[in-house]
Structure formats: C-alpha cells, structure tokens
Structure 1
Amino acid sequence: MTELAGRDEHGTEQSISDDVYYQVMLRDRHGRVRLMGRGVTPTSYFGSRTTSSNHNGAHRIEILENEIGEIRRKKQEREEELQREILEMRKKAQELEEQRQQEFDQMKRNFEAQTEDIQRNFDEQSAAMEERILQTLLLRATDLHNAGKRPICTHS
C-alpha cells in the first residue's frame, strides 16, 4: 500500500500502512519500533520519510511540468490560431482594398464618360447655335442687299 493517508503532526506525508501501524501500536518515542527488537528504528523499518516525500515531491514536480507543458502547448496553439486569424484579416483587408479601388476606377470611368457626353452635347449645341446665328446673319445681309436693289416707293 503506497497510497497516502495524510500528514502527521510534523506535516510529513504518511502512507496508509504507516498510519494503520501507528493507530494500533501508537507512535514510538526515542527512535524505537515496538516488537522489532533493539536497534530497529522507524527509519530502518519503514524507510526514510524524506525519500517518500522526495518521491512524492518529484511526482508532484512531474505533474506540474506536464501541466506547464500542456499550458505551453495550448498557448502555442492559440498563438498559431491568432496568426491564422491575422493573416485572414489581412487577406480580407487586401480584398476590400482591391474592391474599393475597382469601385473608384469604375466611378472615374463613369465620370469621364459623363464629362465626354456633356462636352459632346455642348459642342453639338454650340455648332447648332453657330449655324443658326450664321443663317440669321446671312438672311439679314441678304435682306439688306435686296433692300438696296428695290425701288423706293413713295406714296403720293
């Protein structure tokens, strides 16, 4: 039986087999173990408690190191996940920037096309107006010319 039963009054962990013996025989004083004869000490009979404590301490250290390793592994996984998310966000930002640039370029083309339409309409209207002005001037010049050839009528 190597399971731990608890701690004695000095805070040292005891195994169940130690605890059962002490409950039946009471604690030995003066470094002796009852019914075992002279020279048998609790350390020689039960083994060093510090060895047991060291073993338990080493086991606890191993458990803690495993926990630390698990925490580091989870941290590494989380960092990798965050890196993937960052890359994904950068890719999405790049796509949005490209989309914005395409929309801007399309708006620029539309504006230029509208400007060209306005300029063409203006040029057409300007040419039509010039034509009408020229026709009007030509008519007036013709009228003036014809007015000079007409006989002057006097009303008597």
Structure 2
Amino acid sequence: MPEISAPAPDFTLPVTGGQTVTLSALQGTPVVLFFYPRDDTPGCTKESIGFSEHLDAFKAAGAAVYGISRDTMAKHDKFAAKHNLTVPLLSDEEGKVTEDYGVWVEKNMYGKKSMGIERATYLIDAAGNIAQIWRKVKVPGHVEEVLDAVLTL
C-alpha cells in the first residue's frame, strides 16, 4: 500500500470519452484519484456528483480529478450519462490499480465477508508523489476537504 511522500503507482486505464489516461503523463499537474465501490449506488453517486459539481474549482486550482472503480466502461458511460457526470471515470476491470493502491480489501456487510473497493481518495502532487490519503471516506464534506488540500499544495 502506497504511503504519503512515496511515488504514486503508475497506470494506464481507459476513461469515459473513449481515451486512456496514463498517470505518469500527468506529471506537472496535481491529480486527485477517488476510488469508489460501484457505479450507481447511493454513496458512489453522491460522491461522483460532488466531484462533478466542483470540477471547475479543481481545474482552476490546476488539478485533474478521476474516479476509479472496477466497473466496465459501458457501465461508466451509462452512469455518467444518467447523472450528468463531468468528472472522468477510469475503469480498472482487471483490478491491478485498486490492488496497487491498497483499496481492494475484505469487507464485512451484515456478517458476510467479501472483497471490494474501500472508498478512498489519493492526492498526488505535481511531482507524482502521494501528498495525502483519505481512507474509509464518508461522502458528506469530502469533496470540499479534498479541494482545500489541493489549494494548499
């Protein structure tokens, strides 16, 4: 699991809109990666809408923002269209990135254990190092907290 000040694990993933994103190609720009469990669930929808609503403020601060889950691109495209999301969504179908970032964890829901994505956010500085990590994120107020952290970089 990456730690603060460590280089962020590099990746190339497909993104909504039909392109791909390579993290190392974004060097020189702060990057926010928010990992979420699944498209179109209540918490994930609220979080994605929140980042979309604040996307212009992140851009004004010079930062790029991406949501990541293991959903397919088809599901991402449907999710983005349904909720008018403007934040780009990356598909980690094979799970390598969620594992590299330590967010693929055992969960316990109503006594049943299963593997899934822990809601987490990574702020990566312009040099490509991890500046801040939020684990077990609670959605209310989170987007604003991340934006404040970007503004203090």
TM-score normalised by L of structure 2: 0.18
Structure number with the higher strand fraction is 2
Structure with the bigger RCO (C-alpha within 8 Å, sep 6+) is: 2
Find the structure with the greater CA-based Rg. Answer: 1
